[in-house]
Structure 1
Amino acid sequence: MTDEEDRPSPEALLEQTRKDERGKLKIFLGAYPGVGKTYAMLQAAQERRKEGRDVIVGIVETHGRVETENLLRGLEALPRKRLLHRGRVFGEMDIDAIIWRKPEIALVDELAHTNVPGSRHEKRYQDIDELLDAGIDVYTTLNIQHLESLNDIVARISRVRVRETLPDSFLEKANEIELIDLPPDDLLQRLRDGKVYVIDQVGRALRHFFSKGNLTALRELAMRIAAERIDAQMLEYMRTHAVSGPWPTQDRLMVCLNESPVAKKLVRTAKRMAERQRVPWIALHVETPRDDRMANAEKDDIAEALRLAEQLGAEIVTLQAESHLAREISALASKRNVTRLLIGRPRRRRWTGLLRENVARKLLENAEGFDVTVIAADADEKKRSLISDNPFEPGSWRSRSLSWVFGSVTVATAAALFADRYVPLGNLSLIYLLAVLLTAIRCGMWPSIAASLLSFISYNFFFTVPYYTLSVFHHEQLITIVFFLIVSVIVGNLAGRLRLQVDAMKTSGKRTANLYDFSRKIAAAASLDDVLWAAVHHVAATLDCQSMVLQPGADGSLEITAAYPPEDQLGLKNWGAAEWAWEHSKPAGWRSETLPTAEWLFMPVNTPQGPLGVLGVRFREDARTLGPSQRRLLEALVDQVAVAVERTRLATDIEEARLLSETEQLRAALLSSVSHDLRTPLVSIIGSATTLSSYGDSMGEEDRGQLTQTILEESERLNRFVQNLLDMTRLGYGALQPKKEWSDLAEIIGRAVKHVRKYAGLRSFDVQVSPDLSPIQLDPVLIEQVLFNILDNAVKHTADNGRITVSAKADKTRMVIEISDNGRGIPAEARQAVFDVFYRVRAGDSQVAGTGLGLSICRGFIEAHGGRIVALDGPQGVGTTIAITLPMTAMPTVAEDDEDLQDGSAEGN
């Protein structure tokens, strides 16, 4: 075993580190209700409490059993969270209370329980997952019939469909499983004694679910599940601690599918052996550089054998190895705790066996800890000479390889003839070795061996005595040419293998780069269309094929949403394959088990949330094969497409949820504003108008004037509110276009101050505007409204005797307007938010009246002018200052205006 194999698996260590950061999960597993799972859990909890551990009861159901209730004594039980559902109050586990309490161990009964609607999570196992993430150990209970994978089996055995199920993946998170076993006869006696159900229900239970046959079958299932989980934990321990296996605690079968003639036979044999022994089995294919030289039929055989193994329930494993297959297979067998290995022995010529590793023989010689079974090919299978190890197979030799062989040997002979007069005979062989080496690098192993033989003949013919014959007279020359042949064959073989390894590394690197490039492209795609187009283009470029993606349309039928090269038509058979793949979430079409005569192969694009569509590929007529490596690459691309499409959809859903949330917030804020700022002036107007209508004749002139003034003021207030809503709508749709003209800012400020004085009460205003302030180009109506909104806001936030200051100053590039008050000010963290729609600053429990639209409208108007508005501290740190910055432009002179008029007149003429 190498140092590499002696080291623990980095992935296993990383996973173990993650688990150490979480709480520990212990499941008390029972075959059926009534075996005493809750009782055993409480017993374990009492033992932990006596050891000094902090144990609390999250939720435990005693079902009225006195002995179970007695075990709760001394254990702290947290109050349940009360939830109202359909007029009834239910008690559920309070997750937040447990996390806040932070015990060492929490007891949570009935792992598969479905929570009452309104709970944080739909299922109780999700609650437990949150507790584990918080670092709290959890003890829980589970009956075997609640496992999702066993749901159909339990229904078939007991004729009772269990509705509450638990994903098997959660069971795999358990750090410890304790099987609570009770023989069926003992459980039946407990039933008759009324210790499981009340006496009235015992008869019906005995006739249906609790028959002895059902209980025996469920008991076997529970024991098997517990054994499988323990076996998985043992394998995890071996990987984490670099334990060299196998440990023969449980038989495990592995079949190696690297020989075409016997691949399917191996799969069927392995399946029968696994069924008889009731053991898990693995189908292994080791990819080597030799795979590229396989005939298409052989590649198809291995691919079909792998698909057959997958259909028969095997775990598919694919490895990559440049050489030393036996060592790689043996290492994997030890790592996966395999106890029996099946491998094929095809018919092979002895002389080819000298040049290639005999995997079966080496495994038989070096196997430690596992048995090796070699399956020979049948007579009809031996007739199939599919393996391209035969150098004389049609197609294994190419014309350019032959040309290179003869050309390189010819050049070497010419060079040797020239050098013959200068160097000794033995050194001439190096020239031929160079030709053999170059042939191996350029064309591969078999052409290099041919070059070795041809070089041997040429060397003997041209350079040994007697010349120009194949006879050899001197023993020294015979030894030279024989060793030359041996060395040239070895050098050619090694160089050819090196070339295959380099080619394999290039192919692997290219595929890795393609996958990385694809990941980068789809990660940068902003929309679903971009993702799909990037996907079909990359699949087509990577696999040298046509590709397309089909997704369900509005009516539920499949539609072509992306294709490369562009394609909008499919034959009837291809449509049928695509629809079958979509409906059954399985591959269909070319080279599959369903509709194999179709021209396209369709792969379902699945996510945990369900199918998203199908990806179709169509290969060229001259490349009608899909080897294991290509199929695995296609599956990897399909998985990446699924992740990318799901990511895009999730991003769209998140954006829609965000917009919906913002819309809901705006709606709530608008309703709040309308209920106050629209209703209040309406109430005042209606009240004043009603008073005038009913008692106007009997009222004095002064009272009537006050009521009339109230109606006018509240009408103006209502008009401002409606105007703000309209302005906000205009800003939201981008319909606001300032009508700029040269204006006197001092005059605009004066009008705004005059307007707001009517509502200012005793507050004073200090306007500090330079008399020589330059005119500025702006929309006077919009800027006046901005100033009024800010001043009105300052009035609301300033005491009755407060002071409001307005100043304006300018330089050559900008105009700065500052409005300051000495009110309570705006908190620093809210100075950006005050310009958001419907945002209102709170002071303690009170909230200033207003819609929260004024400053938001101000920002929109100012930004439409190309300016900027910010909230700052007031003078001496008291109150607030709203600073407005507007761009300044030079005002045209009279002469420039005259020139513009003359230019306009000339153009008119």
Structure 2
Amino acid sequence: MSDIERPVPDALLSPVHSAAAGLRRGSLKVFFGYAAGIGKTYSMLEAAKKEVAAGRDVVIGYVEPHARPDTQAMTAGFESLPVKEIEYRGVTLREFDVDAGLARRPDILLVDELAHTNATGSKYEKRWQDVDELRNAGINVWTTLNVQHIETLNDVIGQITGVIVRETIPDRVFDSADELELVDLTPEELLERLRDGKVYLPQQAQHALQKFFQKGNLTALRELSFRQAARRVHTDVETARRERSARQPWATADRLLVCVGPSPTTARVIRTARRMATALDAPWVAASVDLDGQPPSSPVQQQVAEHFRLAERLGAETVTLAGTSMAATLLDYARTRNVTKILIGKTHQPRWRRFLFGSLVDEVLEQSGSIDVYVIHGEQEEKASPPAFVPGRTIRSMGYLWSTIAVLAATLIAFGLRSFQFAESEANTVMVFLAGVAWAAFRHGRGPAILASLLAVLIFDVCFVPPYYTIAVSDSEYVITFAVMLVIGVLVATLAARLRSQIESSRLREQRTSALYELGRRLSSVSGNAFLVATAGTRLTELVGGEVAIYLQAGDRGPELEFGANSTIARHPVSLPAARWVIDHDQVAGATTNTLPNAVALFMPVVGSQKTLGALAFRVPEIGRLLAPDQRQMLEACASQLALALERDQLAVEAAEARIEAEKESVRSSLLSSVSHDLKTPLAAIAGASGSLLESEGLDEPTRRELAETVAEEASRLNRLLENLLQMSKLEAGAAAPNRQWHVLEEIVGSALHRIRRELADHEIRVDLPGNLPLVFVDGLLLEQVFVNLLENAVRYTPGQTLITIVAAVDENLLRIVVADTGPGIPAGAEERIFDKFYRAAGRADGGRGSGLGLAICRAIIQAHGGRIRAANRATGGAEFTIQLPLPEDRPQVNITG
């Protein structure tokens, strides 16, 4: 298959993902129109009656009481939820009860007026948030909406009608509707209905006719509603096209960049960018350039943050750039992101200012190259209020004072140097003044430094150029000196101010990087949810300079407070619902936001790779600064680090549990295998031999004896197996503590050889125990069991007529005992594994009999005596097991002879 014909996985999976999302989330149907009174609610109720007739469960959640007889008549026969009554300033307000809708859970719930603003005290600030929660719960919602309530059309409709609509919904809510039904009526018919009192009461209708309901306004609104509906139909067509032609996924050709600044006109530019991005089906980025390294609490940064929040609500990606030139920084970023169109606001500047200093628009147009630049004319959305007292402005005013003092100090120094004949040259005097200008630029910025340059030129002219103490000059060449001095001063001021700005920006970035590094280092050094949360909470408290609370999702019980139990956040009644909402929706909520704004803290989700793990709550004096782009990005990075640490810890716990379960399963399987083979074989032999003895009376004596020996041998083998199982369980439980006594090693070895003399009958045994061996302080029975198991292991893995040796020697304070054979040896790499429980190596001479517990018991016994045992292959062939036992220093001495 060629690359052109090969299906793209994402395109193939997209319909599946959409279908799965549809199964999890309720659908939204919007009855859409261009003005009140065209029949949206009536059409919704009429369509609902058809659904009821078809057998579907339809309930009215809320229908606005507009006193329209036709509409009220249509509500008859429907089940309606009780409204929620809220007392506000002595007035009882009737609102939709979202909790009642969640409890009733009908198939279709009718909720009128999607853009409505709820009364103070409601669960959510906007009704579209109520609808969003209903959809998340799997409830299908039908609602109504007018075109003027769409956020990106707000300023356009305001220009057309002269009325600013305050109740708006984000475009993403409108775009998320699964079905859109356009309800239309000609403007003439709507005006006729208005005059007949079918829309508003007569007095209200007359006022509406004079203001909003004018034919020109209605015609423009109708066109906008048609355009929005057509765009939606186009989107549906493209979706269907992708489903039918999954081999040709859509590729975005355009990318938009909107320039964000502190000017109020930026909001218009952002909305225009959103409309253009929607029309082009292109992603868009809102970018701001920080030239001055201003703190997040500065008025400029707060205004930029407000514009960023608007852009984020409209679906933009936001980014803050750092650079020395705004135009160059924006264009460099645009080229790295393949931006094809830049939108920038047109600022109102005097011509002289544009001529002397240029403008951002001119620079972007000149340097944009192949990138299209759209200049948007902006108007102030509201009259600016008088600026409040800002400490930073006083500090900057003091900078001008200090710059003046610096120039006066340079003047005194120049007079002093000239009086002592150190600076008779005018060039040296100029350097003294430039030094003062440079100091003013570095300490107080560009503005104070330019003032210092002007004062320096003026004082130099008056005090140090003849004729003295006048602004006149005796030589016209001094004019060039003044100009060069002024230019150099301004240049030094600009470079020094830029350097100061870069240092400040670097310091802020270093602080953020250091904070993230320190948090990551601390989280990596601890484990356990309690310690991770405590570490993160303590560090975040230091970073934000306020109160921090951390909520973690606790299964079906919902969020639980894990850090900050003594904080104001924990005591506030809205905090727990806010944390639950943030975890459920993966969005910021709380103070200064549109969701649960009556909370005392700002809540951010802790999102992991698989799910949302919890929520972070911050309460600081200036909580709005936490929503500044750089601050929000840092806090989101901290939340991500906490989520990764929690997931890492959970994965470690799950891996340990899985390893334990795997070991248990391995032991269980090995035990079952051992029981099925090593118990079944002796029992079968015993049953067969005993049955033959009982049923065959004519057996001769040798045959009877052979059968009886078989019974005894297999019973002994079965007994040893059961003893091994019991001994292993005791050793693992710590119940088999060694009963140490002084013993002669030769007696222990001899007793072990006697116990398995039948198994050793076909092998040659050689024992080399020196007569001067000391007594050993051991449990004689347990050490005897070690020799029995080692000898049985040698018999199983070596053919008959081979040599098995037992050798002992003393190495300083250790007794070394070696049990060796001349068999095939130990498989490579299995020197340690053969001491594991139920491990049985291949190539056994006895046909695979044995439980795999003998060597494990040997290691457990030797370790209980403080010694060690190891296995290795001999150079001459075969395997050897070396036992090392410690010898007490006060051991008694004994000589064995004979």
Q: Identify the TM-score tier after normalising by the shorter chain.
A: 0.5 to 0.7
Counterpart of 1:809 in structure 2 is 809
In the aligned structure 1, how far is the partner of 2:456 from the partner of 2:871? 91
Post-superposition shift, 1:689? 7.0
In the aligned structure 1, how far is the partner of 2:235 from the partner of 2:790? 79
Contact preservation (8 Å) 1:807, 1:819: yes
The one-letter code sitting in structure 1 at the alignment partner of 2:776 is I
The one-letter code sitting in structure 2 at the alignment partner of 1:281 is P
| 2:310 paired with 1:308 | yes
In the aligned structure 2, how far is the partner of 1:28 from the partner of 1:826? 54
Post-superposition shift, 1:252? 3.8
Post-superposition shift, 1:501? 1.2
| 2:651 paired with 1:653 | no
The one-letter code sitting in structure 2 at the alignment partner of 1:651 is A
In the aligned structure 1, how far is the partner of 2:629 from the partner of 2:642? 20
Where in structure 2 are the equivalents of 1:97-108 lying within 5 Å? none
In the aligned structure 2, how far is the partner of 1:729 from the partner of 1:461? 105
The one-letter code sitting in structure 1 at the alignment partner of 2:883 is I
In the aligned structure 1, how far is the partner of 2:13 from the partner of 2:620? 50
Contact preservation (8 Å) 1:605, 1:641: yes
Counterpart of 2:672 in structure 1 is 671
In structure 1, stretches of 5+ residues that fail to align are 1-22, 30-110, 113-124, 126-140, 160-211, 232-249, 895-909
Where in structure 2 are the equivalents of 1:161-172 lying within 5 Å? none
Post-superposition shift, 1:359? 1.8
The one-letter code sitting in structure 1 at the alignment partner of 2:277 is A
Post-superposition shift, 1:364? 2.1
Deviations 1:71-126 (CA, angstroms, capped at 9, x unpaired): xxxxxxxxxxxxxxxxxxxxxxxxxxxxxxxxxxxxxxxx98xxxxxxxxxxxx9x
Counterpart of 2:292 in structure 1 is 290
In the aligned structure 1, how far is the partner of 2:763 from the partner of 2:833? 26
Counterpart of 1:256 in structure 2 is 259
Counterpart of 2:35 in structure 1 is none
Of stretches 865-874 and 730-739 in structure 1, the one that deviates more from structure 2 is 730-739
The one-letter code sitting in structure 1 at the alignment partner of 2:824 is R
The one-letter code sitting in structure 1 at the alignment partner of 2:885 is L
The 1:382–1:435 alpha-carbon spacing in structure 2 relative to 1, beyond 3 Å, is farther
The 1:621–1:251 alpha-carbon spacing in structure 2 relative to 1, beyond 3 Å, is closer
In the aligned structure 2, how far is the partner of 1:740 from the partner of 1:781? 10
Where in structure 2 are the equivalents of 1:288-367 lying within 5 Å? 288-292=290-294, 296-314=298-316, 316-318=317-319, 320-347=321-348, 358-367=359-368
| 2:403 paired with 1:405 | yes
The one-letter code sitting in structure 2 at the alignment partner of 1:340 is K
Post-superposition shift, 1:671? 0.8
The 1:216–1:872 alpha-carbon spacing in structure 2 relative to 1, beyond 3 Å, is closer
Post-superposition shift, 1:399? 7.8
The 1:262–1:474 alpha-carbon spacing in structure 2 relative to 1, beyond 3 Å, is same
Post-superposition shift, 1:301? 3.1
Counterpart of 1:596 in structure 2 is 597
| 2:414 paired with 1:438 | no
Deviations 1:155-211 (CA, angstroms, capped at 9, x unpaired): 999x9xxxxxxxxxxxxxxxxxxxxxxxxxxxxxxxxxxxxxxxxxxxxxxxxxxxx
Of stretches 427-436 and 398-407 in structure 1, the one that deviates more from structure 2 is 398-407
In structure 2, stretches of 5+ residues that fail to align are 30-50, 52-232, 894-898
The 1:850–1:428 alpha-carbon spacing in structure 2 relative to 1, beyond 3 Å, is same
Post-superposition shift, 1:767? 1.1
Counterpart of 2:870 in structure 1 is 870
Where in structure 2 are the equivalents of 1:458-497 lying within 5 Å? 459=460, 462-463=463-464, 471-472=471-472, 474=474, 480-481=481-482, 483-497=484-498
Contact preservation (8 Å) 2:262, 2:304: yes
The one-letter code sitting in structure 2 at the alignment partner of 1:819 is V
Post-superposition shift, 1:769? 0.6
The one-letter code sitting in structure 2 at the alignment partner of 1:858 is C
Counterpart of 2:890 in structure 1 is 891
The one-letter code sitting in structure 1 at the alignment partner of 2:887 is M
Contact preservation (8 Å) 1:261, 1:346: no
| 2:776 paired with 1:773 | no
Deviations 1:413-433 (CA, angstroms, capped at 9, x unpaired): 332221122213442232222
Counterpart of 1:615 in structure 2 is 616
Contact preservation (8 Å) 2:679, 2:718: yes
Counterpart of 2:537 in structure 1 is 536
In the aligned structure 2, how far is the partner of 1:400 from the partner of 1:255? 36
Counterpart of 1:8 in structure 2 is none
In the aligned structure 1, how far is the partner of 2:339 from the partner of 2:241? 24
Counterpart of 2:270 in structure 1 is 267
Contact preservation (8 Å) 1:436, 1:492: yes
Deviations 1:557-607 (CA, angstroms, capped at 9, x unpaired): 211234599898341222222111011121112343322343322222223
In the aligned structure 2, how far is the partner of 1:489 from the partner of 1:770? 101
The one-letter code sitting in structure 2 at the alignment partner of 1:416 is A
Counterpart of 1:763 in structure 2 is 763
RMSD between aligned alpha carbons? 4.3
In the aligned structure 2, how far is the partner of 1:223 from the partner of 1:352? 58
Give the 3-state SS of the residue equivalent to 1:420 in structure 2: helix
The 1:845–1:760 alpha-carbon spacing in structure 2 relative to 1, beyond 3 Å, is closer
TM-score, normalised with respect to structure 1: 0.66
Give the 3-state SS of the residue equivalent to 1:830 in structure 2: coil
Contact preservation (8 Å) 1:299, 1:626: no
Post-superposition shift, 1:448? 2.7
The 1:571–1:295 alpha-carbon spacing in structure 2 relative to 1, beyond 3 Å, is closer
Post-superposition shift, 1:437? 1.3
In the aligned structure 2, how far is the partner of 1:288 from the partner of 1:496? 14
Contact preservation (8 Å) 2:591, 2:623: no
The 1:412–1:712 alpha-carbon spacing in structure 2 relative to 1, beyond 3 Å, is farther
In the aligned structure 2, how far is the partner of 1:649 from the partner of 1:607? 12
Of stretches 789-798 and 527-536 in structure 1, the one that deviates more from structure 2 is 527-536
Contact preservation (8 Å) 2:311, 2:318: no
Counterpart of 2:747 in structure 1 is 747
Post-superposition shift, 1:318? 2.2
Counterpart of 1:580 in structure 2 is 581
The 1:267–1:568 alpha-carbon spacing in structure 2 relative to 1, beyond 3 Å, is closer
Of stretches 793-802 and 262-271 in structure 1, the one that deviates more from structure 2 is 793-802
| 2:829 paired with 1:826 | no
Post-superposition shift, 1:509? 3.5
Counterpart of 2:374 in structure 1 is 373
Deviations 1:402-455 (CA, angstroms, capped at 9, x unpaired): 674355345433322211222134422322221221232233323333443554
Give the 3-state SS of the residue equivalent to 2:882 in structure 1: strand
In the aligned structure 2, how far is the partner of 1:728 from the partner of 1:533? 43
Give the 3-state SS of the residue equivalent to 1:790 in structure 2: helix
TM-score, normalised with respect to structure 2: 0.67
The 1:695–1:145 alpha-carbon spacing in structure 2 relative to 1, beyond 3 Å, is closer
In the aligned structure 2, how far is the partner of 1:732 from the partner of 1:432? 88
The 1:758–1:778 alpha-carbon spacing in structure 2 relative to 1, beyond 3 Å, is same
In the aligned structure 2, how far is the partner of 1:377 from the partner of 1:485? 36
The 1:838–1:226 alpha-carbon spacing in structure 2 relative to 1, beyond 3 Å, is closer
Aligned residues with identical type, % of pairs? 32
For these two proteins, the number of residue pairs brought into alignment is 685
Post-superposition shift, 1:230? 4.3
Give the 3-state SS of the residue equivalent to 1:652 in structure 2: helix
Post-superposition shift, 1:852? 0.8
The one-letter code sitting in structure 1 at the alignment partner of 2:308 is L
Post-superposition shift, 1:838? 0.7
In the aligned structure 2, how far is the partner of 1:401 from the partner of 1:413? 18
In the aligned structure 1, how far is the partner of 2:596 from the partner of 2:470? 61
The 1:820–1:337 alpha-carbon spacing in structure 2 relative to 1, beyond 3 Å, is closer
The one-letter code sitting in structure 2 at the alignment partner of 1:650 is L
Post-superposition shift, 1:785? 1.6
In the aligned structure 2, how far is the partner of 1:355 from the partner of 1:509? 36
Give the 3-state SS of the residue equivalent to 1:604 in structure 2: strand
